[in-house]
Amino acid sequence: MRRSRLAPHGLVLLIVLTFGLAVEAAAQGSGTSPGVGGWATYEWKSAAKVDVPVLVQQPGAGGAAATWSVDREASAPRPIFVTYSVIRGDAKSYVLQIVTRPTADGTPLSVTQVTVDRASGKALKSVIKDKKGVSPTPESGLRPLRQAGLQGSSEEVTVPAGRFTAVKAPHRNGTVWVSDQVPALGIVKGTFPDGQLELVKRGTGGTQDLLRS
């Protein structure tokens, strides 16, 4: 018997929604003011199980042709990649751009931009671009984190982007490792009931406003 998974429509959207909920819990309301141009790309591995269709081959008896049927099984979604960048700002506010992709450098699945007040850390505006176009979206709560804003212990942590000395601290319903060496979001690694976030790469320039281009 041979089983082959079939990719259901809407699976990518489900992954994006699951990821968004977990990161919202991970990075809320630090009130920091990151510099323009910094960016960081993460891999998100969801712990959720998704019911997917599976094509099952049954060998035929006595030389008869094989038969096929469709079954269902629980499977972990494929990882997605998300890039946080600060694309512009002034003395009063900055714009945090969040881009989800199927691979680290793949075609964007969605682009969200949140305009954040530097003084209060509150969102002034939040919009998202997906297949339907650009539309207003509810405040997501996403905020950069910095070491000075956390109470925790110093710890060495290794992720795909390298080895960092970071502050390990509980945050909301999970644990984060935060380093000021990481632009934009500040997180090196995060573990949550819904999955795990790890830094893949980072930079301090070359960010692009994907809603204006």
What is the distance of C-alpha 125 from the center of its chain? 20
Confidence of residue 121 (pLDDT cuts 50, 70, 90): confident
213 inside domain: no
Residue 195 pLDDT level (bands cut at 50, 70, 90):
confident
**How many domains does the chain contain in total?**
1
Identify whether the C-beta of residue 80 lies closer than 8 Å to the C-beta of residue 102.
yes
CA distance 152 to 177: 9
Q: Tell whether 210 is covered by a domain.
A: no
Residue 209 lies in a domain: no
CA distance readout (Å), 140 to 31, 73, 154, 185: 14, 32, 29, 14
Q: Is 86 exposed, middle or buried (0-12, 13-18, 19+ CB in 10 A)?
A: buried
Residue 34 pLDDT grade (very low, low, confident, very high; cuts 50, 70, 90): confident
- Residue 67, domain member (yes or no): yes
Residue 208 lies in a domain: no
Whether 73 is covered by a domain: the verdict is yes
Predicted pLDDT of residue 137: 58
| CA 11 to centroid of chain Cα atoms | 15
Residue with tokens 């041979």: 2
Q: What's the confidence (pLDDT) of residue 180? A: 94
Residue 97 has pLDDT above 90, yes or no: yes
The least confident of 129-133, 183-187, 189-193 is: 129-133
pLDDT tens-digit readout, 45-91: 988 765 656 677 777 777 777 777 776 666 667 889 999 999 999 99
How confident is the model over 135-162, as pLDDT tens digits?
565 555 657 888 998 999 999 999 999 9
The answer to whether residue 33 scores a pLDDT higher than 70 is no
Q: Which domain holds residue 163?
A: 2-203
CA distance 159 to 148: 22
Do the beta carbons of residue 162 and residue 16 sit within 8 Å? no
DSSP state, residue 23: H
Angle, alpha carbons 36-175-114 (nearest 5°)? 30
Beta carbons of 130 and 109 less than 8 angstroms apart: yes
Greater model confidence, 205 or 135: 205
